């Protein structure tokens, strides 16, 4: 390389894909959008840059240290680090122009300057759905969100997952019932560590927080009770009448679980898990995590919950909502690492047209005709040896090649070669288009992800 060139590279912690991977990623985004749109969610696209006082209105904490922030003239600017704060700002600002419930999805890049590590990205796609009410929001929406995500994951080809559902009112009520109503946040945080640190350490943590040791054990038995949804509901109902918040939570949970089936969600894809706490201050009702069963260690692939006050930093209006989010870049990275991505449909075209005479215009015309018939077509017009041209089709995984030599031109036909089977025959352009389309459409039923 000469002295005046710069070595090309990208910043560490940024994902950039090769074309075949990008094709799968884009197809995943398209699939998710289509599912969200089929439920009446509208796409939103907020600016990547916002005033820092907006994005950090809540202020403090880890977030503030991680954001990309800079001054421009007199303006203190920050790159968005999630899609929820911009949504809150949007809804508060556009309130008069919106109809509620307001259902929006957003698939967009967010930025966090975290310490760089394998599988963690500084620029990554979040994929969010939220339903926002004006003042009130019906409980049925708390079943719709996980149902949408259930459908979305299936559409991607991810079938082996379980959405774990809990309700924060139940946890908070339970703490009251078991005489642990002080330090609820700390108790939640301790219970949240159950899977990581084990029962004994959690009990020790709870007694340190002033909970009676026996009660801590009882409480833990409760939240870690493993049974069917009906068994867990029955166990919860055994405590009915002791705390109004608890009772409300149980009623909500029953409604949500009862509605999942009506939304078309398969019973094997959701279950109650009373140990799910999900974050700390934000959620007020139903909470969700999603376990990827082939590898639970990767953590939740889709999470969210109900909140009562979306935009309190921007408006006095009460805007309750429910939302769920997929960390799409991280999910893609994991699926890719594990070899679960299906690149079978990643070819940039269905047909590569090879002109076999000096005149390329005939090939161009054929490509235009095939394209009109709904086929994705690329013309290869470069002056290369035949072998090189076929290698190009092979390398890109293009399933069909059309050869256009003097014989074909004379007969007004094309030679169509199936690159997989090796079969080759002459057809009219219309016949060739039909053959390609029927073959490709049966292939394209293959989904983005194939878990082996």
Q: Taking CB under 8 A as the criterion, which residues in 119-138 touch a second copy?
A: 123, 133, 136-138
Residue 399: name the closest of 450, 336, 452, 343 by CA. 343
- Nearest distance, CB of residue 240 and a second copy, angstroms: 22
Q: Are the C-beta atoms of 24 and 41 separated by less than 8 Å?
A: no
C-alpha pair distances (Å), 140 with each of 145, 168, 260, 282, 431: 9, 16, 9, 20, 50
Size of the site for a second copy (CB under 8 A): 102
Does 155 bind a second copy (CB under 8 A)? Our answer is: no
- Nearest distance, CB of residue 450 and a second copy, angstroms: 21
Interacting residues with a second copy between 391 and 410 (CB under 8 A): 392, 395-396
Does 165 bind a second copy (CB under 8 A)? Our answer is: no
d(CA 406, CA 388): 20
Does 93 bind a second copy (CB under 8 A)? Our answer is: yes
Does 373 bind a second copy (CB under 8 A)? Our answer is: no
Does 222 bind a second copy (CB under 8 A)? Our answer is: no
Name the CA dihedral angle for 96, 141, 221, 171, rounded to a multiple of 10 degrees. 20
d(CA 10, CA 16): 8
Q: Which of 364, 409, 426, 451 binds a second copy (CB under 8 A)?
A: 364
d(CA 391, CA 19): 17
Q: Which of 117, 238, 297, 383 binds a second copy (CB under 8 A)?
A: 383
Q: Which of 210, 264, 294, 296 binds a second copy (CB under 8 A)?
A: 264
Does 241 bind a second copy (CB under 8 A)? Our answer is: no
Does 258 bind a second copy (CB under 8 A)? Our answer is: yes
C-beta closer to a second copy: residue 159 or 192: 159
- Nearest distance, CB of residue 244 and a second copy, angstroms: 21
Stretch that binds a second copy, among 184-192, 364-372, 399-407, 424-432 (CB under 8 A): 364-372
Residues 6 or more apart whose Cβ sits within 8 Å of residue 219: 174, 175, 178, 180, 206, 211
Does 156 bind a second copy (CB under 8 A)? Our answer is: no
Stretch that binds a second copy, among 168-176, 184-192, 224-232, 261-269 (CB under 8 A): 261-269
Quick note: the x/- pattern for a second copy over 24-53, rule CB under 8 A, is -xx----------xxxxxxxxxxxxxxx-x
Furthest CA-CA distance within the chain:
93
Does 425 bind a second copy (CB under 8 A)? Our answer is: no
Residues belonging to the chain: 452
Q: For 5, which DSSP code?
A: P
Q: Which of 194, 225, 263, 282 binds a second copy (CB under 8 A)?
A: 263
Cβ-in-10-Å burial (0-12, 13-18, 19+) of 405 comes to: middle
Question: 85-103: buried (b, 16+ CB within 10 Å) or exposed (e) per residue?
Answer: bbbbbbbbeebeeeebbbb
Does 199 bind a second copy (CB under 8 A)? Our answer is: no
Backbone angles phi, psi at 448, to 5 degrees: -65, -30
Does 361 bind a second copy (CB under 8 A)? Our answer is: yes
Q: Which of 65, 75, 199, 339 binds a second copy (CB under 8 A)?
A: 75
Q: Which of 372, 411, 420, 446 binds a second copy (CB under 8 A)?
A: 372
Quick note: the x/- pattern for a second copy over 311-330, rule CB under 8 A, is xxxxxx--------------
Q: Which of 241, 382, 422, 445 binds a second copy (CB under 8 A)?
A: 382
Interacting residues with a second copy between 8 and 27 (CB under 8 A): 8-11, 14-19, 22-23, 25-26
C-alpha pair distances (Å), 87 with each of 54, 79, 83: 11, 14, 6
- Nearest distance, CB of residue 181 and a second copy, angstroms: 27
Does 443 bind a second copy (CB under 8 A)? Our answer is: no
d(CA 183, CA 210): 9
CB neighbours (10 Å) of residue 77?
15
Classified as helix, coil or strand, 229 is: helix
Token pair for residue 42?
């509208």
- Nearest distance, CB of residue 313 and a second copy, angstroms: 6
């Amino acid at each position: 390389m000469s002295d005046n060139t710069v070595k090309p590279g990208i910043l560490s912690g940024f994902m950039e894909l090769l074309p075949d991977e990008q094709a799968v990623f884009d197809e995943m985004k398209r699939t998710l959008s289509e599912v969200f749109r089929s439920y009446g969610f509208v796409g939103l696209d907020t600016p990547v840059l916002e005033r820092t006082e907006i994005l950090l209105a809540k202020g403090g904490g880890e977030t503030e240290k991680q954001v990309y922030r800079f001054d421009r003239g007199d303006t203190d600017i920050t790159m968005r680090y999630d899609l929820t704060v911009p949504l809150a700002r949007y809804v508060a600002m556009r309130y008069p122009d919106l109809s509620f419930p307001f259902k929006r999805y957003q698939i967009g890049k967010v930025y966090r300057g975290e310490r760089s590590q394998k599988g963690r990205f500084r620029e990554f796609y979040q994929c969010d759905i939220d339903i926002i009410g004006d003042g009130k929001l019906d409980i049925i929406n708390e079943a719709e969100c996980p149902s949408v995500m259930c459908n979305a994951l299936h559409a991607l080809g991810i079938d082996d997952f379980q959405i774990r559902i809990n309700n924060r009112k139940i946890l908070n009520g339970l703490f009251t019932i078991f005489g642990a109503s002080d330090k609820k946040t700390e108790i939640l945080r301790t219970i949240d560590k159950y899977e990581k640190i084990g029962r004994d350490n959690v009990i020790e943590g709870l007694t340190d927080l002033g909970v009676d040791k026996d009660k801590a054990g009882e409480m833990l038995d409760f939240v870690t009770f493993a049974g069917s949804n009906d068994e867990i509901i029955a166990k919860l109902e055994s405590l009915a009448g002791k705390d109004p918040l608890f009772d409300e939570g149980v009623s909500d949970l029953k409604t949500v679980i009862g509605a999942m089936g009506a939304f078309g969600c398969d019973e094997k894809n959701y279950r109650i898990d009373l140990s799910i706490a999900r974050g700390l201050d934000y959620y007020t009702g139903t909470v969700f995590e999603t376990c990827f069963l082939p590898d639970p260690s990767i953590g939740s692939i889709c999470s969210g919950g109900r909140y009562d006050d979306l935009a309190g930093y921007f408006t006095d209006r009460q805007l309750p909502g429910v939302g769920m989010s997929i960390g799409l870049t991280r999910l893609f990275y994991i699926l890719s690492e594990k070899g679960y991505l299906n690149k079978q449909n990643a070819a940039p075209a269905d047909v590569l047209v090879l002109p076999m005479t000096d005149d390329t215009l005939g090939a161009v015309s054929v490509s235009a005709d095939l394209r009109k018939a709904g086929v994705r077509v690329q013309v290869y017009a470069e002056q290369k040896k035949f072998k090189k041209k076929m290698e190009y089709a092979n390398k890109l995984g293009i399933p069909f090649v059309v050869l256009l030599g003097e014989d074909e031109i004379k007969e007004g036909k094309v030679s169509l070669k199936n690159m997989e089977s090796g079969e080759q025959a002459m057809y009219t352009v219309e016949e060739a288009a039909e053959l390609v389309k029927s073959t490709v459409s049966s292939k394209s039923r293959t989904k983005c992800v194939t878990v082996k």
